[in-house]
Amino acid sequence: MTALGPDAVRRREAAPDGLNAFVSFADEADDTSSDGPLAGAWVAVKDNLATLELPTTCGSRILEGYVSPFEATAVRRLREAGGRVLGKTNMDEFGMGSSTESSAWGPSLNPHDRDRVPGGSSGGSAAAVAAGYVRMALGSDTGGSVRQPAAFCGVVGIKPTYGRVSRYGLVAYASSLDQVGTFGRTVDDAARLLDVVAGPDPRDATSVEAQPIQHRRVESLEGLTVGLPSEYWEGGVDAGVRLRLEAVREALREGGATVTAVSLPSTARAIPAYYVLAPAEASSNLSRYDGVRFGLRTDAPDLASMVRATRSDGFGVEVKRRIMLGAFALSAGYYDAYYGAAQRVRREISDDFRAVFDAGVDVLLTPTTPGPAFRLGEKLDDPLAMYLQDVFTVPPNLAGLPAMSVPAGTVDGLPVGAQLIGPWWQEATMIAVARVIEARIEGGP
């Protein structure tokens, strides 16, 4: 495949059927590439990872034109491995959304159907890979923001174990859940990019000194146990999606895996817990956007009005909704009922997973999303319906587990994703199984 540079992608995006996948493009002449595993490769980078040359806006008006004076560790590692940043990709504002529709710079479109969303929040990165603009892209995943758009766009998306990739320079949405993730046209592409950006970072106290991912290629899945959590396969899943997932299940069985039903009883409480914890952390993380030191300022005669005016002008409706929700969940008199209870549910969810993995399950197989890509605007007026899109992707974030979405074919021309969830730090097993799915399922690359 010939690699496209920023100029070629910019031209394609300028055409009437452009996807609005990018919010900025690098200068093609600026060649800072070096030798390394990614030598010369163009990589798209989500707009919430700090870059020195290009603005970092997080899809928000409050950061319009803001060029970070420091660089994210993941971006630095990408460059040091020889990769070149092609441009910054569109996203839901501060990562809050599942469709890229909350971006201040307009929604991105799904390359498979331009009336549909590419998913979110890393929708621009997923669309850029699916459209063939780049082979690889960086995203971030707080509750499914890499895996869900990967599923909607028919590409591979990996969210590693929490702590695998440094968050330094990743603009925080919900710090205990955020993790840098990778997209690829193939499992190998996504895994290669992950290898480059992974590893502990002294500037991120939550990054972990873990064994690097020991990749292995397997011909047979003999001896491997795949768990199917019943809570993820029952009602609420689109019939077409279910059919595709059953095909994946059979492919794994044919490949030699033992397939077994398991139960994760706390699953139903994952969304409520997530939509308390993530907004709570967000309400605090987004306090720094006050117009004092960087970014947008709306002038006003006194300090408090300036701060309020800046934030009211700079934040979109979904961001306001979540910081309000989060401030409420932490406020005096409600903390225990919401934040405290959500933390306990989070522990229960971790314990559920631990029990299943301790019982000998090597990897879990679930749909990535309940259905394929929805139409633009379809869920905009119903925040709760939008939140429920994340029902299968949120639990691994709450538990800090590695998870990925791998294409599982299409339904009526729309891609469907299969989600694999592995035990903590066991990305290698999950990725090996994904390669088997990739090889055996039609509609792959």
Kindly report the length of the chain: 445
Residues of this chain, 156-185, that bind another protein according to CB under 8 A: 167-172, 174-176
- Taking residues 78 to 117 in sequence order and writing x for each that binds another protein by CB under 8 A, - otherwise, the string is ----------------------------------------
**Smallest gap from residue 342 Cβ to another protein (A):** 6
125 is catalytic: no
DSSP letter string, 311-327:
HHHHS-HHHHHHHHHHH
Closest CA to 19 of 80, 109, 85: 109
Which residue of 4, 9, 46, 56 would you call a contact of another protein, by CB under 8 A? Answer: 56
Spatial CB neighbours of 301, under 8 Å, sequence gap ≥ 6: none
Which residue of 290, 352, 362, 390 would you call a contact of another protein, by CB under 8 A? Answer: 290
Residues of this chain, 314-343, that bind another protein according to CB under 8 A: 315, 317, 320-321, 323-325, 327-328, 330-332, 335, 337-342
**Under the criterion CB under 8 A, does residue 196 sit at the interface with another protein?**
no
Query: Which residue among the candidates 60, 108, 122, 145 is catalytic per the annotation?
Result: 145
Closest CA to 400 of 205, 177, 183: 177
Closest CA to 180 of 74, 95, 291: 74
Query: Which residue among the candidates 24, 46, 60, 98 is catalytic per the annotation?
Result: 46
For 303-333, letters b (16+ CB in 10 Å) and e give: eeebbebbbeebbbebbeebbebbbbbbeee
Range in contact with another protein (rule: CB under 8 A) among 52-60, 188-196, 217-225, 433-441: 52-60
Range in contact with another protein (rule: CB under 8 A) among 19-27, 36-44, 149-157, 197-205: 197-205
**Smallest gap from residue 202 Cβ to another protein (A):** 4
145 is catalytic: yes
**Under the criterion CB under 8 A, does residue 204 sit at the interface with another protein?**
yes
Cα–Cα distance between 76 and 201 in angstroms, integer?
A: 12
Is residue 314 within 8 A of residue 61, CB to CB? The reply is: yes
DSSP state of 336: I
Spatial CB neighbours of 120, under 8 Å, sequence gap ≥ 6: 91, 92, 97, 98, 99, 100, 101, 102, 145, 148, 149
**Smallest gap from residue 172 Cβ to another protein (A):** 7
**Under the criterion CB under 8 A, does residue 12 sit at the interface with another protein?**
no
Which residue type is seen at 19? L
How many C-beta neighbours within 10 Å does residue 350 have? Answer: 17
**Under the criterion CB under 8 A, does residue 355 sit at the interface with another protein?**
no
Closest CA to 243 of 68, 82, 416: 416
Phi, psi dihedrals of residue 404, rounded to the nearest 5°: -150, 160
Nearer to another protein, 220 or 312 (CB): 312
- Taking residues 379 to 418 in sequence order and writing x for each that binds another protein by CB under 8 A, - otherwise, the string is ----xx--x-------------------------------
Range in contact with another protein (rule: CB under 8 A) among 147-155, 232-240, 306-314, 433-441: 306-314
Nearer to another protein, 27 or 115 (CB): 27
Residues of this chain, 229-268, that bind another protein according to CB under 8 A: 268
Query: Which residue among the candidates 98, 99, 103, 121 is catalytic per the annotation?
Result: 121
The H or E element that residue 27 is part of is none
Positions annotated as catalytic residues are 46, 121, 145
